[in-house]
Amino acid sequence: VTENTINTSNPETEDNNKLDELQKEKKNLEDNIQESNNQIEIVKSELSDILVYLEEVTLEISQKNQEIDKLTLENEKLKIYINNVQVDLDDITEDYTQKKAMLDKRLVASYQMGKTSYLDVLLNSRGLISFISNYYLLSEMISADKKLLNECSDAQKYMQELETSLLEKQQILE
């Protein structure tokens, strides 16, 4: 009987041990599955964060590209403006040089003639018509000299404005 009891008891104990082992294995597998699920959730969360960050970076890149395009366009406009101002400056400088040379000649001639020459021209008139004609010619000459002087002065001021503007735009371009 004791042998029977031991024999019958032994298979039950083996079954119980196997059952316990299987339950432990099942528990380990469930724990592993739960751990894997937790890791999957962490990876999903990280992936979601990465995608949000990637979207932000992509948007920032797009904005920077638009800014680069805008600055490139402004750069081209500045180059065109600088070229136009340089052409204007060259033209006005040439015009100024010619007018200044003409004014210098007129001033030298006027100095050599002296103030009394104008009076001499008027007093040496041969009659009233000659006097009026000489007076008109002298006033036209003086008016032309004043106009030439004003044009030189205006051209010089305009040249300075263009040079200042040109320097400012070149600094902006740099």
pLDDT tens for 124-174 read 778 888 888 878 887 888 888 899 889 989 999 999 998 998 899 888 888
Q: What is the pTM of this model?
A: 0.56
77: CB partners within 8 A, 6+ apart: none
Query: From CA 34, how far away is CA 36, in angstroms rounded?
Result: 5
Over pLDDT 90: what percentage of the chain?
43
Query: From CA 113, how far away is CA 45, in angstroms rounded?
Result: 98
Average pLDDT over residues 12-30: 88
Query: From CA 11, how far away is CA 15, in angstroms rounded?
Result: 6
